[in-house]
Amino acid sequence: MKISRRQFVIAGTLLTVAAPLWLASQEAPAPNVPGGRPPEQGPEGPTFHERVTWMKNPSTEAVLSWTTRTPGKDHRVYYDTESRGGKLETYAQKQATFKDGRYNFVQADEQYAKPGYYHHVHLTNLKPNTTYYVVFASDDKASREFHFRTAPADDADFMVLAGGDSRLGKETPTVHVDRRKMNERMAKLFADEANNITCLVHGGDYCMTAQWRHIERWLTDHELTTTPAGRLLPIVPTRGNHDSAVGFEEMFAYPTLDTPYYYSTQLSSRVGLVTLNTEISVAGDQRDWLKAELPPMREKNRWLFAIYHRPAFSSVRDVQDGAGRRGNWVPLFEQNNIDIAYESHDHALKRTVPIRSSAIDPKNGIVYFGDGGLGVPQRKPDTNRWWLQPPGMAQSAHHVHTIKFTKDQMRVQAIGMEGEVLDDFTAKPRDLAALAAEAAKMKI
């Protein structure tokens, strides 16, 4: 077909206009204005970045945090078990902050952000499995009313979201389209009350660095996980290799944390979580703590799982990269018969075969899954590795996992960006008495 000069010019003009729009939809540059908030992310209020952090005892305590543009003098949270519509004088309780300050601000931040100030309130003596209505207040300004629900303290069924690596692959802050899409996917899962999702267990690498120009955008994007009704999705944080700067500690402060971000969390009366830190020594104090922590956790819980950033059983990186975790942590996992381990860092989706003693063990092995899909550019996994053979799997796909805990089974699904199920597996509760007897025979 012959194309006229006029048609050629029109087509070229359309491409000239459309191409930048398409590129912008994939990754839009940050406004080159101090504190420039991406316009599609909405206006900034007097308080923003409202969020909930869980580490210890989430059935009875939580840290509530927010950001302001000025330091202010008087910061507090008003809360109640009934909605008060934001009328501050009608809330039953209020609590002042335990920590306030300016987010660490380096020279590289100046082009993309203006300073922000963090505020953290520690709520204690909360009632389990209870909805709390909260307002974040700084001086004479206050947020709208939000709410969150504490974790159950009984043996009720529930679900958590699990995911890692929500950073972008570049130093320059941009509108992170894929992270925002994954946050919107999590919001849809969270808003569906039938799912009974209690929290997001995050495997680390929130943004490119833990410096303010990147943190500010991650916190803004996390607002997308808040439901239209104002329900906040609590975060159980893990430290990743891109979270080394002090901003991570300013983002996830907790007054009773006495270790460098390794700790255990009782998600219900029979579900326990151990969070580890791959950015410090995996031996020494951390291994000693893990060795002491796992036995009582295993005895108490029907379901016990671990989360940490760098994998023991990688899907992408050199096999030797996980040797330290395999040598120091995996034997303790196996001795204490944890059920699953969630890993990140590799930027792919994987599920291993059940593993015990460096071999496939369909009956008593531990499944290692995850590898990081909350928006980070995905890599191609090496599917030839023995631990990724069927029933294991690996592929390149953005994802978040849902983990549903019931008395009879644990069901794990990998959910893709469009809501499709990418992987699905279940596990039954372990026969701990039989495993203990088997271990005793081996020692003889």
Print the domain residue range for 422: 158-443
43 against 244, higher pLDDT: 244
The b/e string for 196-205 (b: 16+ C-beta within 10 A; e otherwise) is ebbbbbbbbb
Domain boundary among 113, 128, 149: 149
Nearest to 75, CA basis, from 124, 143, 125, 132? 143
Residue 96 in any domain: the answer is yes
Question: Has residue 351 got a pLDDT over 60?
Answer: yes
pLDDT of residue 44: 67
pLDDT of residue 394: 98
Q: 381 with 406, same domain?
A: yes
pLDDT of residue 16: 39
Tell me, what CATH number does 145's domain have?
2.60.40.380
Q: 318 with 291, same domain?
A: yes
Q: 216 with 107, same domain?
A: no
Backbone angles phi, psi at 365, to 5 degrees: -75, 165
Q: 328 with 423, same domain?
A: yes
Model confidence at 43, pLDDT cuts 50, 70, 90, reads: low
Q: 50 with 193, same domain?
A: no
Distance CA(142)–CA(68), nearest Å, equals 11
- Domain tally, the chain: 2
Q: pTM for this one?
A: 0.89
Give the chain's end-to-end CA distance (angstroms, integer): 84
Q: 179 with 123, same domain?
A: no
Residue 382 in any domain: the answer is yes
Residue 27 in any domain: the answer is no
For residue 345, is it left (φ>0), alpha (ψ between -120 and 50) or beta? left
Report helix, strand or coil for 24: helix
Q: 193 with 301, same domain?
A: yes
pLDDT of residue 170: 81
Model confidence at 442, pLDDT cuts 50, 70, 90, reads: low
Q: 301 with 373, same domain?
A: yes
The continuous run of DSSP H or E covering 273 comes out as strand 271-275
Residue 48 in any domain: the answer is yes
Q: 366 with 262, same domain?
A: yes
pLDDT of residue 31: 37
Domain boundary among 103, 122, 149: 149
* Rounded alpha-carbon distances, angstroms, from residue 383 to 154, 314, 343: 40, 11, 17
Q: 144 with 288, same domain?
A: no
Peptide bond into 391 cis (omega under 30): yes
Domain boundary among 125, 149, 173: 149
Model confidence at 194, pLDDT cuts 50, 70, 90, reads: confident
The per-residue DSSP string of 399-444 comes to: EEEEEEE-SS-EEEEEEETTS-EEEEEEEPPP-HHHHHHHHHHHH-
Model confidence at 81, pLDDT cuts 50, 70, 90, reads: very high
Q: Read off the tokens for 346.
A: 């590799």
Q: 74 with 193, same domain?
A: no
- pLDDT 10s digits, 264-299: 999 999 999 999 999 999 999 999 999 999 999 999
- pLDDT 10s digits, 146-172: 999 999 999 999 999 999 999 998 888
Residue 279 in any domain: the answer is yes
Question: Has residue 367 got a pLDDT over 60?
Answer: yes
Distance CA(249)–CA(231), nearest Å, equals 24
Q: 163 with 129, same domain?
A: no
- HSE-up of residue 29 (Cα within 13 Å, Cβ side): 6
Residue 11 in any domain: the answer is no
Nearest to 232, CA basis, from 316, 297, 136? 136
Question: Has residue 53 got a pLDDT over 80?
Answer: yes
Residue 421 in any domain: the answer is yes
pLDDT of residue 422: 98
Model confidence at 32, pLDDT cuts 50, 70, 90, reads: very low
Residue 358 in any domain: the answer is yes
- For helices 177-191 and 212-222, the axis angle rounded to 10 degrees is 30
Question: Has residue 427 got a pLDDT over 90?
Answer: yes
Q: What is the dihedral of CA 401, 406, 408, 413, to 10 degrees?
A: -10
* Rounded alpha-carbon distances, angstroms, from residue 192 to 185, 195, 241, 286, 416: 11, 6, 33, 38, 17
Model confidence at 440, pLDDT cuts 50, 70, 90, reads: confident
Question: Has residue 65 got a pLDDT over 70?
Answer: yes
Distance CA(235)–CA(148), nearest Å, equals 11
Distance CA(244)–CA(211), nearest Å, equals 9
- pLDDT 10s digits, 401-424: 999 999 999 999 999 999 999 999
- With a pLDDT cut of 70, the percent of the chain lying above it is 89
Tell me, what CATH number does 319's domain have?
3.60.21.10
48 C-beta neighbours (distance < 10 Å), count: 20
